[in-house]
Amino acid sequence: MKYGNVPLPVLGRAWRAVRRARTAAGYYREPLTDMVRWLFESNEMTNFTYDLEEDNERYLAALISDIAGIHVDAVAGFFRELTEDEALASHIADATARSDFAHTADPKARYGRRIGWYAFVRALKPKVVVETGVDKGLGACVLTAALKRNRAEGHAGEYYGTDINPNAGYLFSGEYARYGRILYGDSIASLTKLDCAIDLFVNDSDHSADYEAREYRAIADRLTERSIVLGDNAHCTSKLLEFSQATGRRFIFFQEKPRAHWYPGAGIGISFRR
């Protein structure tokens, strides 16, 4: 049978394809709406910032609670401590406005998965925190804000950031710079020169798989039984998983879900011993 000159089976397939397309498009409607809003409301070009969905935060709190051995309410409290830190938010806004990069960055403080970094520092009270890849310095400020709180509670700690870009880290200034420093140059070379145990390591530099693996090898003999390694590239490569398996460490991956943002999110690879 035909409808006009078109066989009915062909029309049936076309109609089913349209219905399926509508179903698929439903998954992209909200991100596309968020993208249009972002185009007009944000200045960011890379390293996008956002908050996490409420349930996503709860899942992250439960995960950190299990790894760090503290109550989930304590982890949630650390999250609130960071997101309600008006001094830090004001510092980020002011430092952004004063910088030469204000046209490519947003002044509002949004931390995404970095709330997990903060909570690990607050929970574990590390003496040495290392972050490779500083970029604007948002992560540096988050980590040193946690170290600042720890020191007020009697637990001193120091931050080391590494970045090959001599202009990186413009947010890392003022009182936050009192809790650490940035080592400029190749990250592998900087890590090799560090002569201390590393309690918390955050990989967030060159996002090539090979370079990421080289960083883990460079710090392997500086990790202790309590050290935790956080990989910011674990949504793209399996290098932290492979490093964990080769060194007898456990591995968990947390997938972040941004709130009201088109970006699908990155995550936190977590390598630890128990």
pLDDT tens for each residue of 244-274: 999 999 999 999 999 999 999 999 999 999 8
Q: Mean pLDDT, to the nearest integer, of 165-176?
A: 96
Other beta carbons within 10 angstroms of residue 200's beta carbon come to 24
Q: What is the CA radius of gyration of the chain?
A: 22
Give the per-residue pLDDT at 20: 84
User: Tokens representing 251?
Assistant: 């591995």
Q: How far apart are CA 227 and CA 246, in angstroms?
A: 16
For residues 96-114, average pLDDT: 95
- Report residue 274 as tokens: 């128990």
Residue 249 structure tokens: 């460490």
Q: Are 232 and 203 in contact (CB under 8 A)?
A: yes
**So what's the pLDDT on residue 7?**
62
Instruction: Dump strand ranges (E) for 121-249.
Output: 128-132, 158-163, 180-184, 198-203, 223-231
Task: Give 16-36 pLDDT, tens digit per residue.
Answer: 788 888 898 999 999 999 999
Can you tell me the distance from the alpha carbon of 271 to that of 241, in angstroms, rounded to the nearest whole number? 8
According to the model, what pLDDT value does residue 16 have?
Answer: 78
Rounded-to-integer distance, Cα 64 and Cα 250, Å: 14
Listed in order, strand segments (DSSP E) in the chain are 2-3, 6-7, 128-132, 158-163, 180-184, 198-203, 223-231, 250-255, 267-272
Given its phi and psi angles, is residue 21 left (phi above 0), alpha (psi -120 to 50 degrees) or beta?
alpha
